[in-house]
Structure 1
Amino acid sequence: MKLGNVFGIIGRDPQMNSNGTVIMFSIAVKRRYKDNQTGQYESDWFNCKAFGKTAQLIHENFHKGSKILFDGDMRNNNYEKNGQKVYSNEIIVSDITFIESKAAAYGDNRPVTSTSQIPATTPDSFSDNGMIVEPDDLPF
């Protein structure tokens, strides 16, 4: 089932397999409404998996607490364990959109290095323009 855009916060450091081809992680996705009794937003947790180059991108750029936006597909991952049928779902990740810088993702002021140079005359469209976007402001 195609989900489209999924926005969440990574709940634990992504775990790459020994071949470097598959990565698994979990995300918390805030519900659109507040709990009537507590007045707080609740979150739902989803297991996610990515393959190939997408797995490499996640491994190199995301960690516990990182905000992530991606397209994905919901898949059943049902199996039998000790004679019992176990039902679970996971999101297969594709098409990642970076929504925060590495420095912001790590919560510090370390310089972010890049392998390509940006010409000094090119305007920085991601510079601080005084606008703050909170996850609650996103339309999904």
Structure 2
Amino acid sequence: MNKIINILLVEDDQLDIIDIQRTMDKMSILHRMHVTKNGEEAISFLEHEASRAAGTYPDLILLDINMPKMNGIEFLSTLRKNDQWKDLKVFMVTTSEEKVDKEAAAKLGVSGYIVKPLKLSNPSSMDCFHLMIDLMNIKNRI
């Protein structure tokens, strides 16, 4: 894939931010990442800073669930209600293995659910990252 993927990472834990960045680098995913610390900041970014013309509009969102102010499920619900954002690809990247969280995310149309910690040796995590790459490749061919 030659195109740089614009990623909005919604994550409040600095170590997880570093881990996600390293995983993207190890998988040779060309990307530009904007980080927000919670759902409120992510909404603000989408409303005021993300621009298609400037090339900062996200191609996809990597989203944690457990965050202050507005958690990942609340953010995803808000995202899906907005016509401009409802079709954005969202991958949950979370420590939560709770069935209720997985079901809520699925009902809100997540493209993948990745359980942290990220490990290149973990097939389910890497399958989701490969799905993410495949989705971006398909989008870029259209």
TM-score normalised by length of structure 2: 0.24
The structure with the greater share of residues assigned to strand is 1
The structure with the greater share of residues assigned to helix is 2
TM-score normalised by length of structure 1: 0.25
The structure whose Rg is larger is 1
